[in-house]
Amino acid sequence: MPRLNQAQLAPLTEVGVFLGWFGRATPIVHYASALAGPMRRQRFVRDILDKRAHRIQQSRGQPGAGPPIRSDVVAVARDARGRTVATIHLIGADPYSFTAAMLAWAADRAAAKGIRSTGAIGPVEAFGAGDLEDACAEAGFRRY
């Protein structure tokens, strides 16, 4: 699959992030999340959420306690008119381990080779699309 080059990524101005854990209900959950703050103030809701979070944390701390975490990522690039110009699908493992690996890679890379620009920049501008894609693959996320 061909890589997007730096010029194709240059006009990127906005990134929207959504979780798709809930299948077809994901859009509903996305909009309902606006209620999370006010609902969390209710003690019974807070207690339920805290118990569920505790069970998840315990299961992740014990090997074999639950199914491994898998991540699916879909990135859709649209032009100023909203037309899709590129779509990329990635699959990977635990997003928390991925985050740690990528932060370590970026720190090592910046220390060893510097970055391509200054100021507030994103990872593509800092390291280049190709090197960033290679680092993501090494950290466990690959195109499919």
SS3 for the chain is CCCCCHHHHCCCCCCCCCCCCCHHHHHHHHHHHHHHHHHHCCHHHHHHHHHHHHHHHHHHHCCCCCCCCCEEEEEEEECCCCCEEEEEEEEECCHHHHHHHHHHHHHHHHHHHCCCCCCCCCHHHHHCHHHHHHHHHHCCCEEC
For residue range 65-78, what is the model confidence (pLDDT) as tens digits?
A: 556 677 888 888 88
Contacts of 50 (CB under 8 A, 6+ apart): none
Name the token pair of 135: 């680092």
Closest CA to 116 of 9, 31, 1: 9
Closest CA to 109 of 131, 142, 89: 131
Percent of the chain residues past pLDDT 90, beyond the cut = 12
For residue range 39-90, what is the model confidence (pLDDT) as tens digits?
A: 878 888 888 878 877 776 665 555 555 566 778 888 888 877 888 888 888 8
* CA atoms of 45 and 36, how far apart (whole Å): 10
Is pTM, for the whole model, over 0.85? no
